[in-house]
Chains A and B, each alone.
Chain A
Amino acid sequence: MTDPHFLTIAEASKLIATRRLSPVELTEAYLTRIEALDRLLDSFVTVIAERARAEARAAEATIMASGPVSRMHGIPYCLKDIYETAGIPTTAMSKLLADNVPTRDSYCQEKLVAAGGVLLGKNATWEFAHGGPSWDILYPPARNPWNREHSPAGSSSGSGAAIAAGFSPATLGSDTGGSIRGPAAACGIAGLKPTYGLVSRRGVIPNCFSHDHAGPLAWTCEDLAILLQVIAGHDPEDPGSANVPIPDYTAALTGDVTGLVIGVPASWLDDEDPPTPETKAAFEAALDVFRGLGCLVRPVNLPPLRQYDDAKKTIAVAELFTIHGKDLRTRPHLFGASLRYRIIAGGLVRAEDYINAMRLRTDLARAMQNVMQTVDVLMLPTAEPAGKLEPIPPSSLFTRSSFTTPFNVGGNPAVSVCSGFAANGMPFSLQIAGKLFDDATVLRVGDAYEKATPWRQKRPVLAVTETA
């Protein structure tokens, strides 16, 4: 059997259901590994070992008596430290929330508790899921398990690192411009930004209301499907929540993608923001895999990438200031320098500018949906392989465009999967985006790719005593 800490959710849940794996032993395996190795990565800011052991014992007793209530029953997981957890600190890595202990669980945490999951702790994030990496906030930044000198990207940085390192098989992050898909890409795992409104944001500390998405990170798309099944659904307490039917996401993973039409945003990749030759080669190789699986690949044209970034970031800086204005006015010294720079000018954005950015968002979202009607999915690299973990100019937020933000603007589901490894050992990434509320197809395509390629067989090595 695979080392328990490297079992996927799908594998572990089968073993638990057939009583060949104890949730107590599985939880202990993760806690032991976190205790021994997380000092190398700083992927957790809070570990709740005794509570996790108690939850595991309770799960085991229930499963032994009456069987599992879900595929997450007895499965350990963690949460980005912006998900509110009753009785457990929720800091967003900010000195401003150093003493924050919520009294109510976030919607997603409630769902995971009801599904019988075992919470291990809270993951590192960039401050308030926006500014970073930072060395002047509550905790140090997480590191990349594939190379500790490299960045796990952000803002769900600890989430990405923890999954790749085998500290947990499941975690939830948040994605406002790419903060699930970026860390998933950097850490060589799978991360899904669901359709806007599919997963409730209630109890997730906001970054930018109009673009925030809650979603899962795991080793495989199959595991993402299991997690999405638990957390997707209508929540009347989230004004952005959609009341739509929830399909069986794991049943959708047929492995068959024959005949699917894949659109490639040609002008973004060829003209506006060409990837490095190494990344482009990895992307072309991934497209060849899909051609081999019976897909048709063709170019599509979308509005300029820059417009998606300008609309989103103008909206975001105004919304962020609205959220943090009081603290900026009264105790600006408690913000990390990176976050403060990124939101300080938001108070100077005029209402007219904000609304015109929202009008542009309407145009861009419509353009995205029009193109999506001509294809089944879009594909492009998620990001370049992760660079060194080092301070980056906070101005880069405003000057660099990204391949992830357009799907926050459009609200479309998008997953990042591992698509190989660069010469320096860092993971390549492939982004697959789909039609609104067609998260099942996005996961089906990602799952088919993972099963057709060898990339899920390789894990990072954290200590000299480990072997890949």
Chain B
Amino acid sequence: MTTMPSDDEIILLARQAGLDLPAQYLPELIEAYGNVRRMIERIPTGRPHGDEPAHVFVPAKFLPVGD
């Protein structure tokens, strides 16, 4: 597992995401991010270049209604 960011780094990451939260919400942001980060760390990486994700663009889905 990679090193968990410090509390200040998490707050900076949030600001970079446009989330400049009032101080009262920072403890829940830091705790919630820890949970999310642990989930993400368990997801396999290092996949082949052409390995497509579950959602791909299907143009036929966007034909005007009635076509």
Contact = CB atoms under 8 A, between A and B. Distances in A.
A356 B45 contact: yes
B1 interface: no
A20 interface: no
Interface residues of A, number: 40
A293 to B, nearest CB: 36
Contact of B39 (A310, A340, A344, A361): A310
A233 B25 CA distance: 43
A341 to B, nearest CB: 5
Contacts of B19: 325, 328-329, 344, 347
A398 B41 CA distance: 13
Centre residue among B36, B51, B52, B65 by max chain A CB count within 10 A: B36
A347 B32 contact: no
A402 B31 CA distance: 22
Contacts of A349: 36, 40
Interface string B38-64: 111011110100011111001001110
Residue of B18, B28, B40 with most partner-chain A CB within 10 A:
B40
A332 interface: yes
A210 B40 CA distance: 18
Given A306-B42, A348-B17, A353-B43, A395 B32 contact: yes
Given A314-B40, A398-B36, A359 B29 contact: no
Given A332-B25, A348-B13, A395 B39 contact: no
A365 interface: yes
A291 B58 CA distance: 43
B35 interface: yes
Contacts, number: 98
Interface residues of B, number: 35
A361 B36 contact: no
Contacts of A355: 53
Contacts of A346: 36
Contacts of B18: 325, 329, 347
Given A236-B65, A362-B54, A365-B54, A344 B29 contact: yes
Contact of A357 (B21, B35, B43, B62): B43
Interface in A337-353: 337, 340-342, 344-349, 353
B16 to A, nearest CB: 9
A313 interface: yes
A353 B14 contact: no
What 9 pairs across the A-B complex have the smallest Cβ distances? A358-B53, A347-B17, A398-B35, A361-B54, A345-B33, A345-B32, A345-B36, A358-B54, A236-B65
8 contacts: A307-B42, A310-B43, A311-B43, A347-B14, A347-B18, A347-B19, A348-B10, A349-B40
